[in-house]
Amino acid sequence: MTYWNPDNVRDVAESVGISSLSDDVLQSLSRDVEYRLSQVLEEALKFMRHSKRMVLSTQDISQALRVLDVEPLYGYESTRPLRFGEASLGPGQPLFYVEDEEVDFEKLINAPLPKVPKEISFTAHWLAVEGVQPSIPQNPSSTDSRSSDLVSKAAGTNAGLASISGNDNVTVKPLVKHILSKELQIYFERISLAILDESNEDYRIAAFSSLRSDPGLHQLVPYFVQFIAEKVTHSMKNLFVLAQMMHLAAAMLDNESLFIEPYVASIIPPILTCLIGRRLGDPTNPLAHFSLRDLAASLILTIAKKYATSSLTLKPRLARTFLKNFLDPYKPLGVHYGAICGLQAIGGPEVVKVLIVPNLKTYEEVVRDDVVGGEDEGGVRRTEAEMVVRAILKAVGSLEGVGKEGVRLTNGWVPGEEMRERLVDNVGEVIGGRIWELERWGLVRALVEGANAGV
């Protein structure tokens, strides 16, 4: 038994001139035709599956015929639908055929020639240079339709951050496109609000604790750095905001999971502003800024310890900045205080010995009058001068190898008037007198012997 109709075999035989075929021959030929068709279909289905398609095409049949070493059927293609026509040869004998499209040769000849395709070529271009995408035709433009969904919000475009900064209508175009998840955006907004909430200390502590320990904040690092820079720039008279930005920077530096090194150059300027800025805080409370400068100096100490080895110019550049502000007599005493603390932070005793001690004699002229007889209103100038003197004593105190010694030193000499004169001659009357009054003989010996050694 076969599914192929033997009458079809008889019709084909009669078309080639064979008029008489027995029923056994017709059955055998029908089974053979059925076998050949199933063989072609099996091969064609293999091509369909390997092409990841669910519909069998004429191209699959042609490929199967080639594999079976059979000449393929010409004139069939899968790019256009086939239209079948029907013709009747007699009662109950329909004939189906493919309708061919009539082509007008005159129109075909007069039709313009298609454009010559360009040759395949390759070219190279920069997708990004140090995280910044160049504006070239090969790169996506800022008007990309997907940019509104995928570009992360910069500090000026973030609704929560803009409202905090007071710049609701300012739009800042980010330099780098990031895919920032909704969860990270919400986290950034919540942290930004929490650390600036002056009325809820527990809220602030929880926010800083999360920043110190959360390992999944890598994508938010540039946003927090930019946030710190903006708030410091626009809040110079608000010591609370400045202090919170320093605590934010400290929390980021304490988080061992964050890679802060690429952003050190961006995070140092706001810290320096809080350390050696000319006017910090409310003028009605002129002495409150010293605690902020101490906090900023501790951050400089942390940065110098962690990143000085990877950036060999970090400490020299900071030292030049601090020394320039320390030796400028026209800068406020608060700036001098910050510069002294900064110098001690970046290098410890070595920097103090080389950069601070040799300049103390000259610097004494800046603070002598204020320390000895300052009579400004409220004693602000005198208090500031005292703070600077304390900072100097703390810095030079790092040169003392041991604590307070007895009257007679181990090397055999006894402190006397001659020794005091030598100390005053090296560091000035104000600093030298304070050290002598404190009876810090180890520090006296270090300063005198250091000066004799060519400090």
> Is residue 65 over pLDDT 80?
yes
The mean of the pLDDT values for the chain is 81
Q: CA–CA distance from 323 to each of 95, 247, 275, 276, 396 (Å)?
A: 103, 26, 13, 11, 15
pLDDT of residue 450: 61
Q: Which helix (H) or strand (E) holds 88?
A: strand 84-88
Higher pLDDT, 436 or 260: 260
> Using one digit for the tens of pLDDT, what is the confidence trace for 223-235?
999 999 999 999 8
What predicted TM-score, i.e. pTM, was given to this entire model?
0.59
The residue among 316, 183, 299 whose CA lies nearest residue 248 is: 299
Compute φ and ψ for 88, nearest 5 degrees: -105, 125
Nearest-angstrom CA–CA distance, 166 and 156: 10
Through-space distance between the first and last CA atoms of the chain, rounded to whole angstroms: 115
Residue 14 tokens read as 């009669």
Which DSSP state fits 114?
P
Per the model's pLDDT, the better-predicted residue between 402 and 226 turns out to be 226
Q: What confidence category does residue 451 fall into, taking pLDDT thresholds of 50, 70 and 90? A: low
pLDDT-based confidence at residue 295 (cuts at 50, 70, 90): very high
- pLDDT at residue 383, as a whole number: 86
Could you tell me if 236 and 283 are in contact, meaning their C-beta atoms sit under 8 angstroms apart? no
pLDDT, tens digit (0-9, with 9 covering 90-100), for 165-222: 455 555 555 555 556 788 888 999 999 999 998 888 899 999 999 999 988 888 899 9
Helix (H, G, I), strand (E, B) or coil at 277: coil
Confidence of residue 367 (pLDDT cuts 50, 70, 90): confident
